[in-house]
Chains A and B, each alone.
Chain A
Amino acid sequence: GDSVTQTEGLVTLTEGLPVMLNCTYQTIYSNPFLFWYVQHLNESPRLLLKSFTDNKRTEHQGFHATLHKSSSSFHLQKSSAQLSDSALYYCALSVRGSALGRLHFGAGTQLIVIP
């Protein structure tokens, strides 16, 4: 079945260092939709990035990700971590578009940025 794997449960970084959170997915469908959500403490998950286009970089709020269908990956990156980036990050997959399909979420990666 469809699934998402986030290999790191916890990532701890020093402020100013680059961020990379891994996301790989499995699906038999050739047109997956990939999303990154961010959830700060005591808040609900909020959409950070989305992509449907192979090999095209998508950016928002300093974060970027590129969907690579060849490697089934959608890693989240940022050039320089800020303290305010500390949050739980979810990668999610939909194979029919989010509305009529359903999102499959990874287990989440907790990012902690320290001074």
Chain B
Amino acid sequence: GGIITQTPKFLIGQEGQKLTLKCQQNFNHDTMYWYRQDSGKGLRLIYYSITENDLQKGDLSEGYDASREKKSSFSLTVTSAQKNEMAVFLCASSSDRGNQAPLFGEGTRLSVL
């Protein structure tokens, strides 16, 4: 079976720091997503990519960059971490065939001191 691996699982940063989160999937899925999860606000889409080297902005793209250099990997960069920020970042992927719902990785938990 396939798996979506997010690294690191926990990330502690300093205010103003640039932080990079990585996601790898071995499902051979075409589309990959980055969501941010905050309590009471649901899952908000930051970026998604429908193929290698493609990038599409979501609702929350400001303050983030993303990169899809390979079909199997999708990275997210927090360009300047905000003090006291705490959130979970979830990577997901889905196939273009049929009506397949995205599968999620286990998340990266970010804390900014």
Contacts and interface: CB of A to CB of B under 8 A. Distances in A.
Interface residue tally of chain A, by bracket?
A: 20 to 34
A43 B88 CA distance: 11
Classify chain B: how many residues form its interface, as a range.
20 to 34
Q: Is the interface of B mostly helix, strand, loop or mixed?
A: loop
Interface string B32-47: 0101000011111100
Nearest first, the 8 A-B pairs at minimum CB distance are A44-B104, A105-B43, A107-B42, A99-B96, A105-B42, A47-B101, A97-B99, A45-B104
A54 B107 CA distance: 33
A43 B103 CA distance: 12
Given A99-B30, A99-B94, A99-B95, A47 B103 contact: yes
Contacts of A97: 98-99
Contacts, number: 62
Interface in B10-45: 30-31, 33, 35, 40-45
A105 B38 CA distance: 12
B101 A100 contact: no
A46 B43 contact: no
Contact of B40 (A47, A105, A107): A107
